[in-house]
């Protein structure tokens, strides 16, 4: 597609927010310039001085440097994340681009290239009324022969399969578990916006609400695409993910797959550069088989952009491409891994306690626990081992989100599958994994030194395998076939997952573990024992058998099937086991029965509790030592500080939001942080149309929050007074495509960055604010009647189905604001029209308005009144109705008009429905 049309981007300006490597930036610029883009607007986010000084000059490129001071002056600290900067940067740039005379502005990242198969001018002409055109994505992967040191060196363009069912595992192998909809990155697309931008909200991908969203057109793959070089080069990959892991870049809302990628990349970023390069090559490349598979499905194309990125801007030869290696975790003498959910916290703690009792004095110990749905108290209980006399550290990771993503929520015992995530969380040294129903009877640290002969995984054959070997006829056929199939005919190769030695120092371990995980994620439902089966399949040929003493499965030995011959001998030979696995269905901590293994469990636990000085909390446990006598200050601090600073369950407050506009001023909500920032920095609110500033007022004039609007509108409404009529006088009282922005004194005209907060399609003031503008707005509505103090009317929103609010004013003061709620089928228009009611009499008695008592209802945010306004209410008890034919209010007849009855019915219906009193929609 790329290169087949001359200057396909003519007619578009392109915007990006950039932070990273200069060579990538220059190549990005070159591509779009060569494709004929009218102009590039590049906003550099806190660039180093040397990058700024080295930027080349080109008449088609505008460089804007955004230093941290600029961000800090307009955004409270908690509001600064990458997405916010990108979106607000787009709005700000759109203003400038419109003033520069451009009609379209595209928003892409600096690792995305716009590729069109036809001139943009033709597309724009075809979709003349579109507010935005959204382009689908193709993700760029490397072929084996591609140059991985270039950010745009990948040549294989892969598209998402869409609704078709495609077996991505076959093409991507173990990497498939990290894809979403067949892509590593997003598949949401990127958009080209018509200028000036219509009202509505946007995300980094596309419009989200308002007219912007309603009039967006999605382009098909054969017209236009975004080529997303998500991996970049090995150097840019290292820089991007390193910055995220170290918190230098704050990206909000990483999706589950992205989080999984981050975990995977985190491991490699802690490895030496050469290993990072090897991993990068393996992960981001597609071999010939994979290419063929994808091409057969129509998902792959070859795209080579190298010729289009080397000029006209000179390539940067001074780029530092050295890879950063993040510091590794400390080593300990003995590392153990466990997995548990809430039900298994006490047993898991018991396992850890017995291990510590037997091995703790021999060296430093680290327990890594993966928890599913553990709460603060559970974590504190597990970490209480750190306050014993042993050198021990307990690290608890929350894997609930991983399990939700990969396993689902149906299986209450899903926590055991958490073993598949250990590879992401374990510091890289030999680790012994233990189930939470395994207890140690003696030290077993010899397993840390055991020569595994090149194997990556060590364990004891599963009891099912032992049974099959001893007595094949006594084993169900399905089980037999399963074990034979998994182990390729040697069932003793099927290891039990209760006790495992992970040799993470073996270079092959990681890939096999990831393969195991891929099996669970992609095919888990087809595996009877899920992760245990997957592990045995993935590690085939790389397993070492441990002696039964290291996993004595009590369930097997109490079974009636274990009665004679080799198995009986085995039972007693191995009875003095090192690690006892209480693998029965009824667990010993649940059963009061005085059975042998139950008693063994209780004895082992209580002995360990005494030795370590803790309580496991079972009914038979040693009582916990009294905190006030035993706890040191650091333990109190750990307990008390575990919730300190945790955010509550509140929704985050937008730091500044425009609620409405009126002749007297602007109604806003402003967070505490933003209020203080505005005061400290002397910020202003400005209204701009292209390059003209209609008004600019200091936030010093903000009133305190209007408590009386809390119920009628929302909490925290303030008013910023300004004379809107005077401001709009230069455009005869009506302004279109008005951008409301926050500026600081350093911003002058369109040269400095401004922080956009709202766009209004049409706003009017003074005598020009009349219902005649409703047509231009694309809305309609009218007041209908004032009956028993209630003012009713109807409204047809600009965007179908949208909850556009209307606002009630009394003598120029905002009194209420809400979306019309009940349908008005009597007015036709396909159900688009909705009715509203306001209790004007009550509001007047409460002191709203002044002496003239002029009531109007307006389209919120525009100051444009509905028909029938204003209504002067001299006596609220007088019933009136609006006569549209005569354009005046007249006395209402005693019989309420049908429209009012319908309005009342609709209102009653809406109220009752909202209170849950109606069982189904009508």
Partner 1 sequence: MPRYAKDTTLILHIGLHKTATSYIQNVLSTRRIDLLSEGILYPTTGAVDNVVLSTRPGAQSGHAEFFWAEDRRELMAQLLNERPDAAGTVLLSSEDFSLPRRRVHTERFLRDFAAFGTIKVVLVLRRQDAWLESYYKQFVDQYGNFETRSFDEFLRHAGPNLIDFHTRFSPWRELVGPENFHALSYDDLPGGAAICRRILEIAGVSGSLLDVGASTDTPVYESVRAIDTLGLRILNSYRLGDRDLRTRLARSIYRAAPEGDIELMTPDMRKGIQEVCAPINERIEAEWFSVPVPGLRFASLLGGTTTTSPTGPEVVDYVDQVISLCEAARKSANDGGSTP
Query: Which residues contact partner 1 by CB under 8 A?
Result: 376, 626-628, 631-637, 639-648, 650, 653, 670-672, 675-676, 704-711, 715-716, 718, 845-848
Output the CA angle 479-480-482, nearest 5 degrees.
Answer: 65
Measured from the CB atom, the residue of 711 and 895 that comes closer to partner 1 is: 711
Which token pair is 535? 């592990």
Measured from the CB atom, the residue of 119 and 705 that comes closer to partner 1 is: 705
Q: How far is the CB of 675 from partner 1 (least distance, A)?
A: 6
Measured from the CB atom, the residue of 31 and 675 that comes closer to partner 1 is: 675
Measured from the CB atom, the residue of 705 and 897 that comes closer to partner 1 is: 705
Longest dimension (CA), the chain: 106
Measured from the CB atom, the residue of 298 and 625 that comes closer to partner 1 is: 625
User: What is the dihedral sign for C-alpha 249, 254, 256, 258?
Assistant: negative
Residue 393 · residue 365 · CB < 8 Å: yes
Q: How far is the CB of 349 from partner 1 (least distance, A)?
A: 17
Measured from the CB atom, the residue of 131 and 615 that comes closer to partner 1 is: 615
Listed in sequence order, the residues at least 6 apart from 917 whose beta carbon sits closer than 8 Å to its beta carbon are none
Q: How far is the CB of 805 from partner 1 (least distance, A)?
A: 18
Q: In what order do the strands lie in the sheet with 438-440?
A: 438-440, 579-581, 552-553
Which token pair is 168? 């991505």
Q: How far is the CB of 631 from partner 1 (least distance, A)?
A: 6
Measured from the CB atom, the residue of 503 and 655 that comes closer to partner 1 is: 655
Measured from the CB atom, the residue of 168 and 670 that comes closer to partner 1 is: 670
Measured from the CB atom, the residue of 633 and 893 that comes closer to partner 1 is: 633
Residue 523 class from Cβ within 10 Å (0-12 exposed, 13-18 middle, 19+ buried)?
middle
Q: How far is the CB of 647 from partner 1 (least distance, A)?
A: 7
Count the residues in the chain.
922
User: What is the dihedral sign for C-alpha 731, 733, 737, 743?
Assistant: positive
Measured from the CB atom, the residue of 696 and 813 that comes closer to partner 1 is: 813
Strands 888-891 and 684-689: unpaired
Q: How far is the CB of 651 from partner 1 (least distance, A)?
A: 10
Three-class SS of 387-441: HCCCCEEEEEEECHHHHHHHCCCCCCCHHHHHHHHHHHHCCCCCEEEECCCEEEC
Q: How far is the CB of 87 from partner 1 (least distance, A)?
A: 23
In terms of Cα–Cα distance, which of 666, 668, 673, 658 is closest to 74?
Answer: 673
Residue 43 · residue 15 · CB < 8 Å: yes
Q: How far is the CB of 715 from partner 1 (least distance, A)?
A: 5
Q: How far is the CB of 757 from partner 1 (least distance, A)?
A: 18
Which token pair is 282? 């393996």
Residue 856 · residue 751 · CB < 8 Å: no
Q: How far is the CB of 340 from partner 1 (least distance, A)?
A: 22
Measured from the CB atom, the residue of 489 and 648 that comes closer to partner 1 is: 648
Q: How far is the CB of 756 from partner 1 (least distance, A)?
A: 23
- How far from chain centre, in Å, is Cα 451? 44
Residue 760 · residue 862 · CB < 8 Å: yes
Q: How far is the CB of 883 from partner 1 (least distance, A)?
A: 32
Measured from the CB atom, the residue of 380 and 484 that comes closer to partner 1 is: 380
Segments in 756-874 forming alpha helices (H): 774-777, 840-845
Residue 539 · residue 516 · CB < 8 Å: yes
Q: How far is the CB of 636 from partner 1 (least distance, A)?
A: 3
DSSP state of 197: P
Within 246-308, strands assigned E span 285-286, 300-302
Measured from the CB atom, the residue of 417 and 809 that comes closer to partner 1 is: 809
Three-class SS of 720-739: EECCHHHHHHHHCCEEEEEE
Distance (Å, whole) CA 805 – CA 860: 6
In terms of Cα–Cα distance, which of 281, 267, 273 is closest to 320?
Answer: 273
Residue 397, beta-bridge partner list:
370
């Amino acid at each position: 597609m790329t290169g087949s049309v001359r200057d396909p981007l003519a007619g578009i300006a392109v915007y990006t927010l950039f932070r990273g490597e200069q060579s990538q930036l220059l190549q990005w610029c070159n591509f779009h310039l060569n494709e004929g883009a009218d102009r590039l607007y590049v906003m550099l986010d806190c660039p180093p001085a040397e990058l700024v000084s080295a930027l080349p000059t080109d008449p088609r490129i505008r460089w804007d440097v955004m230093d941290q001071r600029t961000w800090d002056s307009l955004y409270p600290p908690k509001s600064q994340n990458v997405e916010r900067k990108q979106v607000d940067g787009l709005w700000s740039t759109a203003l400038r681009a419109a003033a520069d005379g451009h009609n379209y502005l595209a928003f892409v990242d600096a690792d995305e290239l716009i590729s069109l198969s036809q001139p943009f001018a033709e597309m724009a002409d075809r979709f003349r009324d579109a507010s935005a055109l959204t382009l689908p994505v193709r993700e760029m992967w490397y072929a084996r022969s591609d140059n991985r040191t270039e950010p745009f060196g990948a040549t294989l363009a892969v598209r998402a399969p869409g609704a078709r069912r495609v077996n991505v595992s076959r093409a991507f192998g173990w990497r498939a578990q990290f894809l979403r909809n067949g892509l590593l990155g997003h598949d949401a697309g990127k958009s080209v916006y018509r200028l000036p931008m219509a009202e509505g909200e946007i995300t980094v991908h596309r419009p989200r609400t308002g007219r912007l969203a309603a009039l967006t057109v999605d382009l098909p793959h054969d017209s236009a695409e975004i080529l997303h070089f998500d991996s970049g080069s090995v150097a840019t990959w290292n820089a991007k993910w390193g910055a995220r892991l170290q918190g230098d870049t704050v990206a909000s809302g990483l999706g589950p797959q992205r989080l999984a990628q981050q975990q995977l990349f985190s491991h490699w970023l802690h490895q030496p550069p050469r290993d990072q390069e090897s991993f990068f090559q393996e992960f981001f490349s597609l071999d010939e088989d994979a290419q063929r598979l994808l091409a057969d499905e129509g998902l792959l194309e070859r795209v080579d952009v190298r010729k289009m990125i080397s000029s006209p801007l000179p390539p940067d030869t001074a780029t530092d491409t050295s890879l950063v290696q993040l510091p590794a975790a400390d080593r300990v003498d003995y590392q153990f891994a466990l997995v548990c959910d809430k039900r298994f916290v006490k047993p898991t703690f018991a396992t850890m306690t017995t291990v510590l009792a037997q091995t703790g004095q021999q060296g430093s110990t680290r327990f890594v626990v993966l928890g599913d749905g553990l709460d603060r108290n559970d974590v504190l209980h597990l970490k209480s081992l750190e306050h014993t006399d042993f050198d021990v550290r307990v690290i608890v990771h929350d894997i609930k989100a991983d399990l939700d993503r990969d396993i689902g929520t149906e299986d209450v015992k899903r926590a055991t599958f958490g073993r598949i995530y250990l590879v992401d969380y374990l510091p890289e040294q030999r680790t012994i994994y233990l189930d939470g129903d395994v207890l140690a009877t003696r030290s077993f640290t010899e397993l840390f030194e055991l020569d595994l002969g090149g194997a990556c995984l060590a364990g004891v054959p599963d009891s099912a395998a032992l049974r099959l070997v001893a007595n094949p006829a006594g084993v169900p056929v399905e089980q037999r076939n399963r074990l034979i199939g998994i182990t390729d005919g040697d069932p003793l190769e099927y290891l039990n997952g209760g006790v495992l030695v992970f040799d993470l120092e073996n270079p092959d371990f990681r890939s096999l573990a990831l393969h195991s995980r891929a099996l669970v994620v992609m095919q888990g439902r087809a595996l009877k024992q899920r992760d245990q089966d997957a592990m045995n399949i993935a590690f085939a040929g790389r397993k070492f058998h441990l002696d039964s003493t290291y996993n004595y499965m009590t369930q097997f030995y109490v079974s009636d099937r274990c009665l004679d011959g080799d198995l009986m001998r085995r039972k007693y030979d191995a009875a003095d086991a090192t690690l006892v696995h209480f693998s029965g269905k009824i667990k010993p901590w649940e059963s009061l029965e005085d059975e042998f293994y139950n008693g063994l469990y209780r004895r082992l636990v209580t002995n360990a509790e005494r030795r370590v000085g803790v309580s496991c909390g079972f009914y038979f446990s040693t009582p916990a030592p009294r905190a006030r006598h035993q706890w040191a200050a650091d333990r109190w601090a750990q307990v008390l500080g575990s919730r300190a600073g945790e955010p509550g369950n509140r929704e985050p407050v937008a730091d500044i939001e425009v609620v409405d506009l009126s002749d007297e001023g602007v109604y806003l909500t402003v967070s505490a942080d933003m209020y203080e920032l505005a005061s400290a920095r002397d910020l202003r609110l400005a209204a701009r149309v292209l390059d003209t500033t209609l008004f600019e007022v200091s936030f010093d004039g903000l009133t305190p929050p209007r408590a009386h609007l809390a119920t009628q509108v929302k909490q925290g409404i303030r008013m910023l007074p300004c004379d809107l009529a005077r401001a709009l006088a230069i455009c005869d009282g009506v302004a279109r495509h008005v951008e409301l922005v926050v500026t600081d004194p350093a911003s002058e005209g369109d040269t400095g960055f401004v922080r956009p907060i709202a766009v209004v399609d049409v706003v009017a003031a003074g005598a020009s604010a009349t219902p005649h503008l409703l047509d231009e707005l694309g809305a309609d509505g009218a007041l209908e009647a004032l009956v028993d103090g209630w003012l009713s009317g109807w409204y047809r929103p600009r965007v179908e189905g949208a909850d556009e609010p209307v606002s009630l004013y009394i003598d120029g003061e905002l009194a209420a604001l809400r979306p019309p709620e009940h349908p008005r089928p009597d007015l036709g228009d396909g159900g688009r029209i909705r009715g509203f009611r306001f209790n004007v009499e009550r509001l007047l008695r409460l002191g709203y308005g002044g002496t003239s008592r002029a009531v109007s209802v307006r389209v919120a945010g525009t100051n444009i009144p509905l028909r029938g306004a204003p209504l002067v209410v001299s006596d609220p008890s007088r019933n009136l109705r609006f006569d549209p034919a005569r354009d005046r209010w007249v006395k209402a007849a005693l019989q309420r008009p049908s429209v009012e009855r319908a309005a009342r019915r609709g209102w009653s219906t809406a109220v009752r429905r909202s209170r849950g009193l109606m069982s189904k929609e009508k």
